[in-house]
Structure 1
C-alpha cells in the first residue's frame, strides 16, 4: 500500500515512528510520551540516561574537580540572541563562537550553543534533576559542544562531545537579569515563533558557580545520546512568582502546538552504577 511504503521510507530517513500512514513524534503530552521514547529512539533506553535524582548521601567528594572559567560568557555588546518557542521549550540561541567555557575539569574547551528551560504547572515541580527526591520549580540548561566540533548536532553522538550546565530555579525575589527573556515570552506564543532579544551577559543569569555535582549522562530529550558531561550547580537561581507564572501561562493558552509548554520535563532515570561526584566537601555522606 502506498501509505505503508511512504511510512517505511520516512522511518528510514528520519527515525521517527510511523504507523498506518500517520507520523508519530515525541512529546510530553502528545505524540509519543517520555516512557515510550525508546519506541522512536533505542538510545533513549540506554543505561546512562539523564536526568537523575541526586541523593546527597551517595555523592562522592572529589578534591580534583576544578573551578570553571566563565570569563568569556560576560560578552554582551555584540552577541546575537534569538528567543524561540520550539514546541517543547523556550530556547535562547547564541551563535557567537567566542562564548567558550573552560575549566571545571572538562576535557578541553566547550562552545556555547543555546540555553533552554524546563518547568512545571505548580511550584513544587518542573526541574528535570532532583535533589534528594525533590524537584525545583524550573531548570535551565546551558548546552555546549566540544570545540573539536562545529555544532551540537555534529558532536551529540560522540563520547564527551557535549557538556551541559544545569541550574535549578525557584521562587524568590524579582530577577532583573531575566527580564529581557520573560517580557518577550508574549512574542513567542506559537510553536516556531522567534524574536531577537537584547544581548545579555550569561554570567549575570547564573548564581554562584563555585560548587557543583558532576556525572556522565545523556540528552534529556530524544535522541537521548549518552554524550553529555553533566554539571548541576548547588546554588539556585531565583525569580519572582510573577516571572515564573509567565512560563506557566505558555502552556495554558490553548494554541495549537502549546501542549508541551507545561510540565515539559523528563523524570529521573536509573543511575545504573554511575558515580555522582561533587567539589563540596560538606556534602560528602550527607543525607
Structure 2
C-alpha cells in the first residue's frame, strides 16, 4: 500500500503525487463532503429498498487490510431506490474512525465529525468485486452510517468483540453476524444522496452515495477497540504504528447538487444568527396553522 493517513510522505494531502485522480478539484465529484444548509430537499426521491438485509447470514469474514477493518459479507443482500442508478449487490462493510481523543467519520454533518463511520459497499450488476466496479461510472454504491457514542450496541458486538484480534494487516477472523439491518439506523428514510468518489486512492469518481442522517450508537468501549488496537504496520515492525484518524478530509461540493430525501430533517446553516433561526421557526409554525 503506497498511501497512508498519518505520515507526512503518504497522508491524504500527498495522495495526488502518486494518484493524480486524487487531486482536490472543486469542479470534480470528490468525497467525502459536509452536509449543511446547501443540501436540497427533494420530495421526489423514492425510498430505499433493502433486499436480504433482515436475513442472518451464516458467516462474515472480518479483516485488517492495513487502511481499515473490512467485513466481507455473503451473497444475498442488495439495495436499490433512492435515485440509485442500479440495484447494487452488497459485498463489504468498511470502517473509518478517529483516535482515543478525536472523531473520525469521513462525512460530516453541519461540520460535525462523528466518532466513526460505517460504509456499506455495493457493486453494480455485472461486476464481481469492488475493484472492477470502481472503473465504471456508477459502478459502486456506498451507504454511509454515522456512528456515535452511547449505550452498548449488542448486534455490533459481533464486530467490536473481535477487533482486538485483528491488530496487524493480514489478520482475519470468521464471525457469526447479526442481520445487517440490525446495524442500520432506526430510521433509514432520512438520508442524503449525491454522486461522488472513493475516499481512498485512486479516488475514482464512480460512487453513488447514500448517507443516513440518523446515527447508530455504540459504547465507548466498543469504539476504543478500533482506536487503540488496530495497527497498519507489520507484525515484525519494532515500532508498531497505530491506525487512527483513517479518514479523507472533506472535499468541496460547490459544483454539484446534494439532495436530501423527503423524511430528512432540515439543516440550518452554522452561521445562522439566532434571529434568523427564530424567523425560520416562526414561518414554519405559521405555515402549520394555515
TM-score with structure 1 setting the length? 0.85
Structure 1 residue 28 corresponds to structure 2 residue 1: no
What residue number does 1:3 align with?
none
Structure 1 residue 62 corresponds to structure 2 residue 42: yes
Deviations 1:151-210, CA, capped at 9 Å, x for gaps = 211110111111100010010111001111111112211111001111321000001211
Consecutive unaligned residues in structure 1, runs of 5 or more = 1-23
- Which residues of 2 match residues 45-84 of structure 1 at below 5 A? 45=23, 47-55=28-36, 57-78=37-58, 80-84=59-63
Count of matched residue pairs: 261
User: Residues 74 and 36 of structure 1: is their aligned pair in 2 closer, same or farther, counting only changes over 3 Å?
Assistant: same
What residue number does 1:227 align with?
206
Output the CA distance in 2 between the equivalents of 1:35 and 1:94. 32
TM-aligned CA deviation for residue 284 of structure 1: 4.5
Consecutive unaligned residues in structure 2, runs of 5 or more = 270-290
**1:286 aligned to 251, 268, 280, which one?**
268
Output the CA distance in 2 between the equivalents of 1:183 and 1:281. 34
- Indicate conservation of the 8 Å contact 1:185/1:246, yes or no: yes
Output the CA distance in 2 between the equivalents of 1:221 and 1:120. 16
Output the CA distance in 1 between the equivalents of 2:220 and 2:226. 10
What residue number does 2:189 align with?
210
Structure 1 residue 186 corresponds to structure 2 residue 194: no
Deviations 1:32-69, CA, capped at 9 Å, x for gaps = 110011111111115211001111x1010111111111
TM-aligned CA deviation for residue 142 of structure 1: 0.4
Q: Which moved more, 1:267-276 or 1:115-124?
A: 115-124
User: Residues 197 and 258 of structure 1: is their aligned pair in 2 closer, same or farther, counting only changes over 3 Å?
Assistant: farther
Q: Which moved more, 1:276-285 or 1:84-93?
A: 276-285
Match of 1:272, SS state, is coil
What residue number does 2:277 align with?
none
- Indicate conservation of the 8 Å contact 2:72/2:92, yes or no: yes
TM-score with structure 2 setting the length? 0.84
TM-aligned CA deviation for residue 77 of structure 1: 4.0
User: Residues 123 and 209 of structure 1: is their aligned pair in 2 closer, same or farther, counting only changes over 3 Å?
Assistant: farther
